[in-house]
């Protein structure tokens, strides 16, 4: 292993950087530039010392997508200014590290919103763009890349390119996993909304057929939809689920009242986040203990949730979109607790045309596991032409899996079967949630990766930009590792 350059310049220092789920631990040299000039300096230093560089947003992807063990992380969190907001043109230009919540805070009271937001309010714009994430409106508004009007990209030679939707780099940089350069800023298109509030209806579905039937209806009438699926239900109840369908709703308020409500909502979310973190830290060990008995515990929980939802069925509930979209990620225990020390998340898509067969097959594969997923969430999507894009005209299932020690190998086998089942159907695995894919299935799932590699060979011939995920799936070679201090 080559030693780290000694002495280190003041703009980098060693840090322990775990994955979000917590089962991957890395140590990296971290730089936190504030300007494009400082990014250029970090880039030049990495090149001079033969180190690879991984751009990083808020580090809210679940696996190793924003990790670069024993190499350099360029964290854009301090590049977080809103550069321009054009209400008329419905566009906002922000620096790479701007968090999504800060965009909502700026535009919602003006009757505008940002589509394709993931349920993690602290995701950065560049992270959301580079992972081409999706929201509960994915079948309507597509992925995050569909909201991007243009972006600035600093490539390995230090040059800054202005990339609009017609630029040859666009389909590579969106969903490009940080492998082509550093996104410095982006201009995003905004959607008009009647108010910052949504109205949600709960719709239980008895089985796969009812789930797909109700989802098809909801896709016509709602703006957001998500279904919680009981993976334990079998036979005639296979696919038993609860759909939450929401739509923007009119609430009569002046702009000042809207602004005050949004500010108070954001403050509540902050409190909620702190409280949620403290609560989960305190009760995490209890949850881990309950997950040792996950089969009886989850059967009971799922039964209770479905029964409660049936009682609430058809009722309508109005709340701020920010509350609706983001509060659940603090209420529900975080993935590192749900998945435990050996677990992981997996999100797979499958085409609409064979959705019923795919759902049945995927749920039955899950049921063959000694540890079926703790949570299973279904969303609807639309096709996306970016080279590395997870979305397609169909549905996705997101699983959180918590294998016990003795079930690790068997649980992995089951996940490999899930991946194989979606690959056969032309589906995908969401890389922002992945930590299990190996090169062969990755190549099958993402045949357009060759286009990304060809562009990378042109823009980054020395392989400056790399991530642990890219190495794992064979997009980058393993580096000569650098000794940590």
Ligand X SMILES: Cc1cc2nc3c(=O)[nH]c(=O)nc-3n(C[C@H](O)[C@H](O)[C@H](O)COP(=O)(O)OP(=O)(O)OC[C@H]3O[C@@H](n4cnc5c(N)ncnc54)[C@H](O)[C@@H]3O)c2cc1C
Least distance between ligand X and beta carbon 477 (Å):
17
| Total binding residues toward ligand X, as defined by CB under 6 A | 33
**Among the candidate windows 7-15, 56-64, 304-312, 365-373, which touches ligand X by CB under 6 A?**
56-64
Does 56 bind ligand X (CB under 6 A)? Our answer is: yes
The smaller minimum CB distance to ligand X, of residues 96 and 371, is found at 96
Start-to-end C-alpha separation, the chain:
13
SS3 317: strand
Number of other residues whose CB lies within 10 A of the CB of residue 34? 15
Least distance between ligand X and beta carbon 67 (Å):
9
Cβ proximity of 355 and 212 under 8 Å: yes
Task: Give the footprint of ligand X on residues 137-176 (CB under 6 A).
Answer: none
**Whole-angstrom Cα distance, residue 295 to residue 117?**
33
Residue (of 230, 46, 220) closest to 139 by Cα position: 220
The smaller minimum CB distance to ligand X, of residues 268 and 310, is found at 268
Does 432 bind ligand X (CB under 6 A)? Our answer is: yes
The smaller minimum CB distance to ligand X, of residues 178 and 343, is found at 178
Does 100 bind ligand X (CB under 6 A)? Our answer is: no
Does 71 bind ligand X (CB under 6 A)? Our answer is: no
The smaller minimum CB distance to ligand X, of residues 152 and 249, is found at 152
Cβ proximity of 154 and 39 under 8 Å: yes
**Whole-angstrom Cα distance, residue 321 to residue 396?**
22
Residue (of 477, 465, 395) closest to 430 by Cα position: 395
Distance of CA 472 to the CA centre of its chain: 19
The DSSP code sequence of 391-409 is --SEEEEEEEE---GGGHH
Residues paired with 345 in a beta bridge: 400
Does 63 bind ligand X (CB under 6 A)? Our answer is: no
Instruction: Tell me the residue ranges of DSSP E strands in 36-190.
Output: 53-56, 72-75, 82-86, 91-95, 112-113, 148-154, 160-164, 182-189
Least distance between ligand X and beta carbon 127 (Å):
2
Cβ proximity of 128 and 145 under 8 Å: no
Does 239 bind ligand X (CB under 6 A)? Our answer is: no
The smaller minimum CB distance to ligand X, of residues 246 and 329, is found at 329
Task: Give the footprint of ligand X on residues 114-143 (CB under 6 A).
Answer: 118-120, 123-124, 126-128, 130-131, 133-135
The smaller minimum CB distance to ligand X, of residues 60 and 106, is found at 60
Least distance between ligand X and beta carbon 407 (Å):
25
- Cβ partners under 8 Å of residue 398, min gap 6: 345, 346, 347, 375, 376, 377, 378, 379, 430, 433
Does 20 bind ligand X (CB under 6 A)? Our answer is: yes
x/- letters, 287..326, toward ligand X (CB under 6 A): ----------------------------------------
The smaller minimum CB distance to ligand X, of residues 61 and 241, is found at 61
Binding site for ligand X (CB under 6 A): 20, 54-61, 65-66, 76, 96, 118-120, 123-124, 126-128, 130-131, 133-135, 177-178, 182-183, 329, 432, 467
């Amino acid at each position: 292993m080559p030693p780290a350059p000694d002495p280190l310049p003041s703009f980098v220092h060693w840090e322990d950087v775990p994955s979000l789920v917590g089962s991957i631990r890395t140590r990296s040299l971290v730089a936190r530039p504030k300007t494009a000039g400082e990014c250029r300096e970090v880039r030049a230093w990495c090149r001079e010392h033969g180190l690879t560089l991984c751009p990083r947003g808020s580090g809210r992807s679940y696996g190793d997508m924003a990790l670069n063990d024993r190499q350099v992380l360029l964290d854009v969190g301090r590049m977080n200014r809103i550069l321009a907001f054009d209400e008329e043109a419905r566009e906002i230009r922000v620096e790479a590290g701007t968090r999504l919540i800060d965009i909502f805070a700026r535009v919602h009271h003006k009757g505008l919103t940002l589509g394709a937001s993931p349920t993690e309010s602290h995701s950065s714009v560049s992270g959301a763009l580079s992972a081409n994430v999706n929201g509960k409106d994915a079948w309507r508004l597509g992925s995050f890349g569909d909201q991007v009007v243009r972006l600035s990209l600093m490539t390995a030679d230090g040059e800054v390119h202005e990339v609009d939707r017609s630029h040859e780099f666009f389909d590579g940089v969106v969903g490009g996993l940080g492998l082509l350069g550093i996104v410095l800023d982006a201009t995003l298109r905004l959607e008009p909304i009647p108010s910052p509030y949504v109205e949600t209806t709960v719709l239980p579905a008895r089985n796969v057929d009812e789930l797909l039937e109700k989802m098809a209806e909801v896709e016509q009438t709602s703006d957001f939809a998500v279904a919680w699926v009981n993976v334990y239900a079998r036979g005639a109840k296979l696919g038993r689920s609860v759909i939450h369908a929401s739509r923007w709703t009119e609430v009569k308020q002046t702009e000042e009242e809207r602004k005050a409500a949004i500010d108070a909502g954001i403050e509540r979310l902050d409190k909620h986040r702190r409280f949620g973190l403290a609560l989960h830290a305190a009760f995490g060990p209890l949850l881990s203990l309950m997950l040792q008995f996950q089969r009886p515990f989850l059967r009971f929980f799922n039964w209770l949730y479905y029964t409660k939802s049936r009682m609430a069925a058809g009722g309508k509930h109005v709340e701020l979109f920010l509350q609706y979209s983001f509060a659940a990620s603090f209420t529900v225990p975080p993935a590192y607790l749900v998945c435990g020390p050996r677990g992981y998340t997996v999100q797979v898509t499958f085409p609409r045309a064979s959705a019923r067969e795919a759902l049945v097959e995927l749920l039955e594969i899950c049921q063959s596991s000694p540890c079926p997923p703790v949570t299973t969430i279904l969303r609807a999507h639309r096709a996306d032409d970016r080279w590395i894009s997870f979305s397609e005209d169909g549905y996705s299932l997101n699983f959180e899996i918590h294998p016990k020690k003795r079930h690790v190998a068997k649980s992995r086998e089951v996940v490999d079967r899930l991946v194989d089942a979606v690959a056969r159907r032309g589906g995908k695995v969401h890389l922002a949630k992945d930590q299990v894919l190996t090169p062969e299935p990755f190549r099958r799932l993402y045949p357009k990766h060759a286009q990304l590699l060809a562009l990378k060979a042109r823009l980054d011939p020395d392989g400056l930009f790399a991530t642990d995920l890219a190495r794992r799936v064979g997009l980058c070679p393993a580096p000569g590792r650098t000794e940590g201090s």
